[in-house]
Amino acid sequence: MRGGTRRADKAAQSRGEVPLRCVRIEPGVLHSCSLDCPASTLDPSPSTITSTTDIQAARSISSPTITRPHTLNTFAMSKTGDFEAVKKDILAVLKQPEYDDGSAGPVLVRLAWHASGTYCAQSDTGGSNGAGMRYEAEGGDPANAGLQHARVFLEPIKEKHPWITYADLWTLAGVVAIEAMGGPQIPWRAGRTDFADDSRLPPRGRLPDGAQGADHLRHIFYRMGFNDQEIVALSGAHNLGRCHSDRSGFEGPWVNSPTRFSNQYYKLLLKLKWSPKKWDGPFQYVAKAPGADDDDEQLMMLPTDYSLIQDDKFRPWVEKYAEDRDAFFNDFSKVFAKLIELGVYRDEDGIARADKMKQYKGEYKSAPQKPPVPGAPGAGKDGEANPLARQNRIAHQQLNAKARL
C-alpha cells in the first residue's frame, strides 16, 4: 500500500500536481505528511495546503501585526450546513484576553452591523450580501477602521468551515456574540453570497458618522428603510464596546460594562451630566461613571448618541428603553434581524436567491486611504457623502496648515 502511494505521488509530481497530504496541528505549528504515514512518523515538512482566494483576500486587508488565535483545528472540515458547529467555534473565539476588555464580542457585532449598513432601499443596493470588506474598496473605508481585528478573529472558523460564506459568517458571528454577552436571541437565516471581486460594491459614505446629529441619523437610516423607533433601538448596540482614537477618532466606552448587553446605554444618556470633552480630538461628550473616582476612565457619548435625547421624536423611545429592558430586547432583536437581512432577496420559502440580488453596478472609484485625522467616513459619490463634522474639519485644516509650514 505504501509503495503504491509513493508511485502515485511520483506520478502526480511528474504531472506537476501536488500529492495529497494529511496534516496535524499544534498551537502555532502546522506539520504535514504523506497520506499513508503512521501518526508517529509525521514528516515535519511545511504543509502543501494553500489558502483559498477568498482567504487571501481577507488577509490582504488585515493588519499584519495581529496574531491570529490558534484555538481551532483549522483543517478539520465540518459537515456542510452544520451551523451549530460554526456557532460553537464563534463562542470559542469570543474570549480574547489581549483585546479590548478581554472580548472580541463587541467588534464582531460591529462587523455584522457595518457589513449590512450600506443598504439603500431606493436602489436596492448594498447590504449584508457580498462580504465586501474583503476588498480594499470597502475594507479600507475609514468608517470600517478596526474591523480587520474582527475578520482576523473569524478567519480560523472560515478555514475550518469552508462551506460557509464570509457574508453568512460575519452576520452569524454578530448574532452569536450578542446572545453570548447577555443580549436577546436574534433570528438568523443563511444564504448570503460572497462577491468574486470588488466591481459590485456600493460607494462609500453610506455608514453613520458619529460626529453628526439627528438629521444625519434619519438620512442614513431612512435610506435603509428604518423608522425613528428602529433608529433608537439599533443605537442600543452602543451598550457594547468602545471607541478608539486611532480608528474613529473618538475615545472611550459608552457604558461601564462594555461586554455585557443591557439597556444601560439609555439609562446613562438620561441620568448622567454630559459635557464636551476637552482634548485635541473630534467633538464628543464625556461623563464620570457612577461610583467612579476622578482618575478613572470617563464614559463617552457621540454627538449622534446625544441627539437621541435632544430630538423630540427620538427621546420618548430612549425613555421607554431606559425603563423597560424587556421592551428594548424585544425591539432590538427584531430590528437587528432586519438589518442583517438587508440586501438579501428570498423567495416564498425563505430561500435566498442570489440571482435576484441587485448590487451597485455604476463606476466605482476607490475612496482615498484613511485620512491623517480619523473621524467621519470617507466621501462617496456626489449626493451620498456624509459631511464632515465641524470639529473634524478644523482638525484637518490644522494638520494641513502644519504641513505647509
As annotated, the active-site residues are 114, 254
Q: Which three cell numbers stand for residue 304?
A: 449622534
Q: 276 phi and psi, to 5 degrees? A: -60, 140
- Residue of 196, 191, 183, 204 lying closest to 263 (CA atoms): 183
For 305, how many CA atoms within 13 A lie in the half-sphere containing its CB?
25
- The position carrying cell 464582531 is 108
- The set of cell numbers assigned to 104 is 472580541
**Distance, first Cα to last Cα, the chain:** 76
Residues paired with 31 in a beta bridge: 24
Give residue for cell 430586547: 329
**d(Cα 324, Cα 311) in Å, to the nearest integer?**
20
DSSP string computed for 331-359:
HHHHHHHHHTTTT--B-TTS-B-GGG---
Give yes or no for a contact between 97 and 201, defined as CB atoms under 8 angstroms apart: no
Task: Report the alpha-carbon distance of residue 156 to residue 380 in Å, rounded.
Answer: 32
| Residue 71 · residue 87 · CB < 8 Å | no
Assigned C-alpha cell, 152: 482576523
Helix axes 147-160, 105-116, angle to 10 degrees: 90
**Residue listed under C-alpha cell 476588555:** 101
On whether the CB atoms of residues 89 and 100 are closer than 8 A, the answer is no
- Amino acid making up residue 271: K
Phi, psi of 130 (to 5 degrees): 110, -30
